[in-house]
Amino acid sequence: HTINEQGIKPNGDKIKAIIDLPAPHTLKEANEFLGKINWYRKFIPNFAHIAAPLHKVTNKTKHHRHEFKWAPDQQHSFDEFKRILTTYPLFLEYPDSSTPFVLTTDASGIGIGGILRQDTRSGTKINYFKSRVLDDTERKYDTIEQEALAIFWCISELRSYIGDSDFIVETDHKPLENFHKKQINNKRVMNWLFKLQDILSQIIAVKHPPGAHNAAADYISRHFPPSTSPNINPSTINATHDDRSIGTEHWDEHIPKPQCIQYTEPSILKHTCIHNASINAQINAVTTRAQSKLQAQPRSSSANTSSTSTISQSRCSSPPMATPLHDFSLSRIRSEQAQDVIIQQILQQIRNNRRYESFTIQHGILYKLAYRNDATIKLVYAPSKLIPEIMAAYHDHPLSGHFGTGRTWSILRNTYYWPRMKETITSYIKSCDKCSQFNVDRHKPPGFLQPIQPPNEVFQVLGMDWWEPTTISLSGNRYVLVITDRLSGYVVAKASPTNTAQDTARILMEEIILVHGSPDTIITDQGTHFKNELLQAISNLIGCKHIFSTPYHPQTNGQTERWNSTFVTQIAKYCNTDLNNWDTILPTIVYAYNNGIHSSTGISPYQLAFGRRQRHPFSPPATTFVFSKPHDYWTQVIQYRNTALKQAKQHIIHQQELSKIRFDKNRSHPTFALGDLVWMKIFVGRHKLKARYTGPARIIRILSPVSFIVEDEHLQQFQVHSNNIRRVYSRPPS
């Protein structure tokens, strides 16, 4: 582009190169022409309409390139673009900092668009044209949603251009008039408004002009530019202003972002505007229906008083434009490169006529030449001192969004270069505290499944858990204590009005110890109804070992947890409409469960626990067996029971092996060590916008390969599972 005191216009040499091109004969040549002419699309308001015949023949994959045919329609479009480039005044004009912007938007059902302009004393200036096609989902939106989307999208696309200036919004949809000051009964629209809340205060008014006055925006919403961006070689851009920020070469793809500084002649070059001596000439180029219909809107008194040549510092303190942009001007980069030892060595070797085909020097700045999309582009060789600042700008800054390695790398790789760049980006983002605390990990957490060996006898190892239904029963019961035998799967479930330590001890004594004997081990969670002095005393009295599962890791007591989810579904099928008779149904569901075949053992829990099948009320009379001696029956039961127990253990071990294979797939071994700092997952009281992890805390004990004791900065200790912690990565000092 050529930049002067009047504005910005395309470079004449580049236009001449396009004009001299012959008509395309192949799909590749047609795509190349469309890519070149695409560079000037914001100078040509009716671009998409003119380019439509070209897209009709270029919208083909390599497998269908033989279908390419250059017809009269394509030749007419080709000639029309050449005519416009030679006869139409193509200019971008600087904004007037004393005048508010006017953003006129419209939705057509197939696309959305907008025009950004300023109504100055010398006339109306068109600042920018924006439009795009609606996707399949957006085309199903209601009218108010499509019109609101046009406003939201245009403001989002142009907010960096508008900066801190006040502006007026014009929409031909009456219900959206003054949407920034009133509640709209539409969740989708309100969600968009929420995303714009930091800029709503800059809106002076939302007006509803007559339909005829909105013809230009209406036309743009129906004639949108192509979705693909042109592949432009930044080295061909002839912008001579030496302090232009790196990355603004792609004028049409990335609108430059205003800084929180006073506007001066150099900084204003970062704004792109469309210039024309007459507003009617511009509107005529957009649509013949808009001739003499787009009237300049009068400025309100508030617009005159609120406009200023200096951007408000208070606005700069509000997100997401709160953090000032970093200084990556060419003069700053040149100065930093002059102090970088490695860069100076490369510069010296180039000056000594050494062959460095992958580097070039321009205006005293070292560039790395890279090949992107069939074109060679220049990448600024970043001085080592600037790398931390570049990473902060392209990752930490609100305009960069704290996104991941892939997205950050895809942006930086087209602007900067330094050795081991991908490794630097990965390390920087991995050590970002905000990302560690807020991001959702889409990968399986480290830690392999640790199966618990099945016991040798029934009622030897028990799992206990309290379950709370949603309603209190007619009998006043509110909780259910579920006790599960780890070998047979036999279940005991008793309803209770409360779930205190006394209730736990009473049910354990009455239903288990006094009926089936003392267990060797009991597994529970760390709730106060289990972790108390009373239950500890009972455990000591009967010689029972009490094991507590890792907090927020129910898999430790998975068998009991699994039965809870099973019987809830079954009880719900028999409950009355008030859902208050669940405790009367509970015993029958437990009976049915204990008499059914268990998936892990292949035998019913009752049969495995008691060595015989339980006679069902609906079963026919059992066959009578006569033994010569009473002891013979006992021998028969022992043989049958031993066979059943052996078979059950084999089934359980086999199922555990299958579960371990499924669980361990795509998981890594946890590599946490004593002294490591970790983030701990938050499970209770977390708001959606709050961090998912807290800390850091230090590992002070290793209980197992997947279980640890950590201590936070307040010296509080917690037992955590490897699934629920993240390593803290330290970042080297800048």
Distance CA 446, CA 725 (A): 10
Q: Which residue has the higher pLDDT, 79 or 66?
A: 79
E strands of 373-469, at which residues?
Answer: 375-381, 416-417, 461-467
Stretch 287-302: mean pLDDT, rounded? 35
Pick the CATH number of 461-645 from 3.40.50.720, 3.30.420.10, 3.40.50.620, 1.20.58.220: 3.30.420.10
The top-scoring range by mean pLDDT among 107-116, 132-141, 505-514, 669-678 is 505-514
Q: Which residue has the higher pLDDT, 5 or 458?
A: 458
Burial of 106: CB neighbours in 10 Å, binned 0-12, 13-18, 19+: buried
- The percent of residues in the chain predicted with pLDDT above 70, rounded, is 66
DSSP state of 64: G
Sequence-ordered list of residues with C-beta below 8 angstroms from that of 377, at least 6 positions apart, any chain:
233, 234, 235, 369, 370, 371, 414
pLDDT of the residue at 680: 85
pLDDT digits (tens, 9 = 90+) for 462-485: 888 888 776 888 888 888 898 988
Q: Which residue has the higher pLDDT, 44 or 459?
A: 459
Distance CA 41, CA 715 (A): 62
pLDDT digits (tens, 9 = 90+) for 409-420: 888 888 899 999
Distance CA 388, CA 394 (A): 10
Stretch 394-413: mean pLDDT, rounded? 85
What are the structure tokens assigned to 13, written together? 């040499």
Where residue 152 falls among pLDDT bands split at 50, 70, 90? very high
Stretch 135-160: mean pLDDT, rounded? 89
pLDDT digits (tens, 9 = 90+) for 256-281: 333 333 333 333 223 333 333 333 33
Lowest-confidence region among 200-204, 365-369, 436-440: 436-440
Cα dihedral 508/510/513/515 (nearest 10): -140
> CA 169 from chain center: how many Å?
30
Stretch 83-99: mean pLDDT, rounded? 69
Q: Are 238 and 2 in contact (CB under 8 A)?
A: yes
Burial of 527: CB neighbours in 10 Å, binned 0-12, 13-18, 19+: middle
Where residue 619 falls among pLDDT bands split at 50, 70, 90? low
Stretch 378-398: mean pLDDT, rounded? 88
Q: Are 18 and 37 in contact (CB under 8 A)?
A: yes
The top-scoring range by mean pLDDT among 236-245, 491-500, 537-546 is 491-500
Q: Which of 3, 7, 51, 5 is nearest to 31 (CA)?
A: 51
Lowest-confidence region among 44-48, 73-77, 385-389: 44-48
Distance CA 157, CA 380 (A): 26
Going by their DSSP bridges, the two strands 491-496 and 479-485 should be labelled as: antiparallel
pLDDT digits (tens, 9 = 90+) for 98-141: 889 999 888 887 778 888 888 887 777 777 777 777 888 888 89
pLDDT of the residue at 146: 92
Class of domain 2-297+304-316: alpha beta
Class of domain 330-430: mainly alpha
Residue 149 has pLDDT above 90, yes or no: yes
DSSP state of 443: S
Distance CA 384, CA 391 (A): 11
Q: Which residue has the tokens 């006869």?
A: 87
> CA 587 from chain center: how many Å?
47
Where residue 655 falls among pLDDT bands split at 50, 70, 90? confident
Residue 33 has pLDDT above 70, yes or no: yes
Instruction: For 28-57, give one letter per residue: b (16+ CB within 10 A) or e.
Output: ebbbbbbbbbbbbbbbbbbbbbbbebbbeb
End-to-end CA distance of the chain: 37
Distance CA 266, CA 262 (A): 11
Q: Are 282 and 274 in contact (CB under 8 A)?
A: yes
Q: Which of 686, 610, 597, 678 is nearest to 645 (CA)?
A: 610
pLDDT of the residue at 217: 57
Q: In what order do the strands lie in the sheet with 7-9?
A: 2-3, 7-9, 92-93
User: Would 2-297+304-316 and 330-430 be classified into the same CATH topology?
Assistant: no
Helix, coil or strand: residue 238:
coil
Mean residue pLDDT across the chain: 73
DSSP run (H or E) holding 708: strand 707-711
CA distances from residue 701 to 554, 681, 697, 705 in whole angstroms, order as listed:
21, 18, 12, 11
Q: Which residue has the higher pLDDT, 611 or 234?
A: 611
Stretch 432-455: mean pLDDT, rounded? 73
DSSP run (H or E) holding 113: strand 111-120
- Domain boundary assignment for the chain: 2-297+304-316, 330-430, 461-645, 677-727
Distance CA 39, CA 9 (A): 12
Q: Which residue has the tokens 């289990």?
A: 530
E strands of 471-611, at which residues?
Answer: 479-485, 491-496, 521-524, 545-548
pLDDT of the residue at 70: 84
Residue type, 706: V
Class of domain 677-727: mainly beta
Lowest-confidence region among 50-64, 315-329, 369-383: 315-329
Percentages of the chain per state (helix, strand, coil), in multiples of 5 = 40, 20, 45
Lowest-confidence region among 65-79, 146-160, 250-264, 450-464: 250-264
pLDDT of the residue at 441: 74
Helix, coil or strand: residue 21:
coil
The dihedrals phi and psi of 291, each to the nearest 5 degrees, come to -60, 125
Where residue 248 falls among pLDDT bands split at 50, 70, 90? very low
The dihedrals phi and psi of 636, each to the nearest 5 degrees, come to -65, -40
pLDDT of the residue at 322: 43
Going by their DSSP bridges, the two strands 359-362 and 92-93 should be labelled as: unpaired
DSSP run (H or E) holding 726: strand 725-727
Q: Which of 656, 679, 672 is nearest to 600 (CA)?
A: 656
